[in-house]
């Protein structure tokens, strides 16, 4: 009895899910180039507070318009942990790192984020993945470390250490938000996470915002910076999760999550276009190796889950 509905669902719904997943990945792929532009003129702490405040106000307005009820109090702790990881630590550490390293460099290091997120989920859910998962995960981490050492002349630069810390924070936050999606839609999870952050983000934005903000002329260079701020606030911090989570729900986590493998290369293209960065063959090869390790670990874990 279920086969007709499944055949009706499969082609169009799964394809739409893949398209939405790609849109989400494309949006996230622009985060590093946009952040790199913004930190050229705005302090990383101010940028983190501003992007959270802008996204939080928009999220609050949407939740009020749709009259969404408050999450159960039993979930507030998980929402708070997700907020600290995804809204505060990850964007702040990433912005700090991008003051000293290129967006393309960050794209390679953050390419290992899916593996880190899977590891965090394994720890939270007490899963026991197969040996191949651990081998692929360790290989991906080793590739990223080798890339950072090679780029840093044999030692880690400060930007690399900050990016590693950002990966750890994001992985923990994504794993925790994944648990929350069992209780509410993904867009609502990120919206409540942002709203819960508003009491801290708004005062921080006011205190850290450039004093001469109103006097800054909208010259082309400055307009580019403010567009970058709005991008990381509205798209990277909020709207990107709408497309990504909807794609996962419609196309299936196993299939749509593979779209994440494209993210480093999207970052490279955007970094070349908007940051005038030179994308070398070495960067592309290291990214391809990281993507291969992510693909193997994701496939092994997905098969074991099924």
CB neighbourhood size of 221 (10 A): 11
Q: List the end-to-end C-alpha distance of the chain, in Å, as a whole number.
A: 22
HSE, side-chain direction, 13 A CA sphere, residue 99: 15
CA 152 to chain centre: 24
| Residue 113 and residue 175 in contact, taking contact as beta carbons nearer than 8 Å | no
Greater model confidence, 126 or 173: 173
Tell me the per-residue pLDDT of 222-259, one tens digit each, with 9 for 90 and over.
788 889 999 999 999 999 988 888 887 777 665 676 67
Q: What is the pLDDT of residue 120?
A: 80
Residue 6 in domain: no
Q: What is the pLDDT of residue 62?
A: 96
Residue 111 in domain: yes
Of all residues in the chain, what percent carry a pLDDT higher than 70? 88
Residue 188 in domain: yes
Instruction: For residue 128, name the pLDDT band (cuts at 50, 70, 90).
Output: confident
Helix axes 220-230, 44-65, angle to 10 degrees: 50
> Residue 41: is its pLDDT beyond 90?
no
Domain that includes residue 162, residue range: 11-305
Tell me the per-residue pLDDT of 178-187, one tens digit each, with 9 for 90 and over.
788 888 888 8
Name the domain count of the chain: 1
Query: In the predicted model, what is the mean pLDDT of the chain?
Result: 84
**What whole-number distance in Å separates Cα of residue 261 and Cα of residue 287?**
10
Residue 2 in domain: no
* pTM for the full predicted model: 0.84
> Residue 277: is its pLDDT beyond 80?
yes
Average the pLDDT over 106-124 and give the result: 81
């Amino acid at each position: 009895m279920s086969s007709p509905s499944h055949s009706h669902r499969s082609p169009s719904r799964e394809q739409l899910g893949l398209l939405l997943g790609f849109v989400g990945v494309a949006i996230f792929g622009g985060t590093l180039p946009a952040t790199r532009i913004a930190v050229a003129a705005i302090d990383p702490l101010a940028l983190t507070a501003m992007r959270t405040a802008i996204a939080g106000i928009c999220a609050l307005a949407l939740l009020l318009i749709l009259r969404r009820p408050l999450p159960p109090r039993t979930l507030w702790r998980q929402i708070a942990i997700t907020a600290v990881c995804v809204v505060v630590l990850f964007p702040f550490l990433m912005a700090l790192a991008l003051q000293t390293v290129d967006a393309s460099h960050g794209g390679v290091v953050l390419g290992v984020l899916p593996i880190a997120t899977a590891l965090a989920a394994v720890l939270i859910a007490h899963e026991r993945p197969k040996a191949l998962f651990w081998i692929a995960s360790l290989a991906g981490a080793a590739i990223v470390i080798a890339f950072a050492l090679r780029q840093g002349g044999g030692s880690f630069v400060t930007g690399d250490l900050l990016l590693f810390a950002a990966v750890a924070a994001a992985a923990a936050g994504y794993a925790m938000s994944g648990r929350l999606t069992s209780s509410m839609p993904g867009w609502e999870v990120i919206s409540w996470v942002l709203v819960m952050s508003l009491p801290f983000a708004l005062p921080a934005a006011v205190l850290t915002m450039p004093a001469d903000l109103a006097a800054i002329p909208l010259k082309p260079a400055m307009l580019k910076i403010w567009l970058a701020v709005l991008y990381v606030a509205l798209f990277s911090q909020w709207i990107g999760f709408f497309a990504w989570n909807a794609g996962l729900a419609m196309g299936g986590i196993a299939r749509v999550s593979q779209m994440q493998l494209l993210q480093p290369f999207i970052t490279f293209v955007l970094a070349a276009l908007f940051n005038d960065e030179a994308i070398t063959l070495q960067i592309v090869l290291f990214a391809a190796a990281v993507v291969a390790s992510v693909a193997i670990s994701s496939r092994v874990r997905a098969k074991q889950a099924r």
